[in-house]
Amino acid sequence: MDALKKELNELIDQYGLRHKKVIECSTRLDDVVLPEQIENLRKIEKYKDFKLTRC
């Protein structure tokens, strides 16, 4: 995950926020971070049945 963050920051510096390469790297990072965030939410009683729905 740290390597992806570093890569994303480097791509942002090189290309800016809206470049295709930046968006692709950001999506890959989301795919790594999202399951961890959902698991952390489920540890909270109020969100134990949380389901992700993508737009």
CA nearest neighbour of 28 among 13, 11, 15 = 11
Dump pLDDT digits (tens) for 1-55.
899 999 999 999 999 999 999 999 999 999 999 999 988 888 888 878 877 777 6
Judge whether 11 and 17 are in contact, CB under 8 Å: no
pLDDT of residue 13: 98
Judge whether 47 and 37 are in contact, CB under 8 Å: no
pTM exceeding 0.85: no
pLDDT of residue 33: 93
- Helix and strand totals (H; E) in the chain: 2, 0
